[in-house]
Structure 1
Amino acid sequence: MRKSWPYTTPGIPDEFFIRGDIPMTKEEVRTVTLAKARLGPGQVVWDIGSGTGSLAIEAARLIGNGTVYAIEQNPVARELIRKNIYQFDLKNIKVIEGRAPEALLPLPVPQRVFIGGSGGKLEEIINLLQIRLNPGARVVINALTLETLTRILVLLDQLPWKKEVVQVSVTRAVSRGNYHLLHALNPVWIIAVQKEGDEGGG
């Protein structure tokens, strides 16, 4: 059954998405990630390592006549993305089969990029973005481990990009009988960078 989300703000509840066993960016982290991207109408967006497509879905709803390219190498995940596209009745998402950076080469130049999974090719992806992105373009990377965070920072320190790093720690209240307990989700680092240039460009 198709579900609709009538609100313009991001933060679609997790249970609205078809997930299966594929990891998904949680609602609260997704909301901050989208805010850091600074999306606008008509943009071209790459969602690298799209997973279930939750970020791609939300981004597509925020960019009007723009286009989101959901890049995913896992066939099970690609099928989930397609199911979620149908679920939300969206026409401006294209599912791209393949592994970054090779799968990115034929795509149009984006103004915004999300990196949720790199398949061990983070350096190659960053190098490609440095070449292809126009000044003012923004990239938002989510990292779950200290090793990934360290690797990202080492790579980005070699580039003349503006950078900000935040950690998002979410704790939700869950019901247990007549009581409520706090359930902590894994903390996530969100790294937002902007290629040298004017704000809003790219």
Structure 2
Amino acid sequence: MRGNVPMTKEEVRVITLAKARLAPNHVVWDIGAGTGSLSVEAALQATGGFVYAVERSPAGIHLIQSNMKAFGLDNLKIIEGVAPEALDELPDPDRVFVGGSGGHLTGILESVYQRLLPGGRIIVNTITLETAAHALELLQQFYGDVDAVQISVARVVKAGASHLLKGMNPVTVLSAEKRANY
């Protein structure tokens, strides 16, 4: 289910989840969860773990609730609030997705770095060049090595008797791992 809330496209979710390298027992934070599409996919993979979907939008929260019910998930909890403050009471994570920051990217990434377990991974999805550059700078500062890929997806649309590939907005996916000694 989607409504008018931004949803991570399937192709971007697949790559984001691959970068996460989830294990069944992981604790996952999905910050700026939107519709919860990544939260749901993560909960389906981390069956012995737990996923926390952090979202501030009432419409997004409603959609996440609907999607939780549709998929019968009991290892997914919605945290209503604004990050980084909304993260304070959560257990330390093994994996973190950042899909939206509401202008609080620096505070979110600082908080995540302090709480992410050694060997943990963070994945930040961005759509603007400014956010990608800022996230890259912060992730390099905190984690050293950062992987970055840009995903450009095109979908087939009908144009009269023909079909065209219509490009969607590219998404930059940045990922890093917290080393024990960094």
Q: Report the TM range for the smaller structure's normalisation.
A: over 0.9
Q: Which residue of 2 aligns with 1:15?
A: none
Are residue 56 (structure 1) and residue 33 (structure 2) matched? no
The offset of 1:22, in angstroms, is 0.5
Q: Any conservation in 1 of the 2:54–2:82 contact (CA below 8 Å)?
A: yes
When the two chains are superposed, the root-mean-square deviation of aligned CA atoms in Å is: 1.3
SS of the equivalent of 2:141 reads: coil
Whether the aligned pair in 2 keeps the contact of 1:162 and 1:195 (CA below 8 Å) is no
* 1:189 match: 172
Instruction: Name the structure 2 match of 1:20.
Output: 3
2:105 to 122, 130, 134: 122
SS at 1:157 equivalent: helix
1:145 alignment counterpart: 128
Structure 2 match to 1:96:
79
Give, in whole Å, the separation in 2 of the partners of 1:134 and 1:60: 19
What does residue 142 of structure 2 align with? 159
Is 1:80 paired with 2:63? yes
Alpha-carbon contact 1:161-1:196 (below 8 Å) kept = no
Greater helix percent: which structure? Answer: 2
Question: Which of 11, 17, 20 is 1:37 aligned to?
Answer: 20
Q: Which letter maps to 1:79?
A: H
Residues in 2 aligned to 1:178 and 1:151: alpha-carbon distance in whole angstroms? 44
Measured after TM superposition, the shift of residue 177 of structure 1 is 4.3
Separation in 2 of the partners of 1:185 and 1:112? 27
What per-residue deviation string (whole Å, max 9, x for no partner) do you get for residues 168-199 of structure 1? 0011122334321111111000001111149x
1:119 positional shift: 1.2
Alignment TM-score, normalising by the size of structure 1: 0.86
On the 8 A contact 2:22/2:46 being kept in 1, the answer is: yes
Q: Which runs of 5+ in 1 are unaligned?
A: 1-17
SS of the residue corresponding to residue 162 of structure 1 reads coil
**Number of corresponding residues:** 181
Distance in 1, Cα, partners of 2:154 & 2:56: 31
Percent identical among aligned pairs is 52
Structure 1 residue 161: Cα displacement:
3.5
Deviates more, 1:184-193 or 1:156-165: 156-165
> What secondary structure sits across from 1:113 in the alignment?
strand
Partners of 1:79 and 1:147 in 2: CA distance: 30
User: What TM-score does the superposition give when structure 2 sets the normalisation length?
Assistant: 0.95
* 2:181 is aligned with 1:178: no
Counterpart Cα distance in 2 of 1:160 and 1:167: 20
Q: Work out whether residues 168 and 189 of structure 1, in 8 Å CA contact, stay in contact via their aligned partners in 2.
A: yes
Are 1:106 and 2:115 counterparts? no
The aligned amino acid for 1:67 is: F
Does the CA contact (< 8 Å) of 1:71 and 1:100 recur in 2?
A: yes
